[in-house]
Amino acid sequence: MRKRIVGCSSVRGTLLDQVHYPHPFEPGVTVVRLLSNKKVKLNETVAKNDAAFGGLGREGGYLLPGAKVGFPYTGREASGHSRFVGVNAVTGVSTAVKIDPETPYDPEQSVSKQYTYLIDYPNLILAAGKVPPIAVTVTLDREARKISCVQAADTTLGTNRNPDDVGYCVLYDPTSKTCIVQRLRARSEEGSTSTAIPANVNLDTLFAYVFTARANGKPTSDSECKLQGDSNLVAINRIAKDMKLKFPLAGAIDKLNAAVDMELARRATERERLREAEEEKREEEKARRIASGENAAVAAEERDALLDSILDDVSGVADAPDEHARQFDERMQVLADTIFTLKKKHESG
């Protein structure tokens, strides 16, 4: 458990069972945590979650300029980097994969040497709030290396729509770890705001997140990813780097993704086959029970199953983020396995 002390950044050391140290990304903030028990070894599931959470914290450091604007200090809850990590940690946008899938997990070895983290950048949250967002269209001009954010004047003003609400665009390239915050126009204005892209930024892995804030910077709207770079390209480069591949994958990304798609399709077919077999088994059991005179019990179970189906339909939208997180995690696991297989073929050949 950690707590933050705002306004104090010079304390460092151990007091009783607590460790005090400056926050790595937020000036003027001291973090306090309990002493870790060195005798406790992480199991593999906890280690994987730890790697994913740590990776999210690392990305939050690179995204700190945007996180400070998207999660402003309100005096009532965590802000900036801490709020960014807390909000995104529960959405499943970060996962971890084994660097060497064939080597068993070793609790004696550092987690960072066994796992690498991967981020679902299009679903990353850069701001969260109830302010109605300003409609913004983001376009990338590759030749001119600039981003244009076009917005129309919002004439639907009311108690929750202030004419001086301001739009923001956060540009982020995970490859170069570059984060740019561009302040846009007020809600009552219309026009285009252009931002030049530095030469070190990879346009193929550039993401743009848009949100709205009050004139005083707080509160904000939810963020939305308006420009989606290639998340798979970022993941492939990160996996290849941590696996220490001795050959480039830049020219084989399409084929690599096709191989991953084939494996995911095979798994989906197998899951459907098992589901059909289970359904057939249930139907046989149902017929047996009806034949033995258990008609009332069977009818009651069918009614409960129908009610459960209705609940699933109603909650389907709410469950969608969890399902997307599962799909993202599975794809990243398959991607890592595929790259590792390539590495073995290359080394054995």
Q: Which of 182, 178, 158, 179 is nearest to 169 (CA)?
A: 182
Q: How confident is the model at residue 301 (pLDDT cuts 50, 70, 90)?
A: confident
> Residue 159: how many CB atoms within 10 A of its CB?
5
Cβ atoms 171, 179 nearer than 8 A: yes
The reported pTM is: 0.81
Residue that has been written with the tokens 């589901």 in this structure: 275
Question: Tokens for 94?
Answer: 């970060």
Is residue 35's pLDDT more than 70?
Answer: no
Average pLDDT (90-112) is 91
pLDDT of residue 151: 94
What is the rounded CA–CA span in Å between residue 60 and residue 184? 22
d(CA 179, CA 132): 24
pLDDT at 40: 52
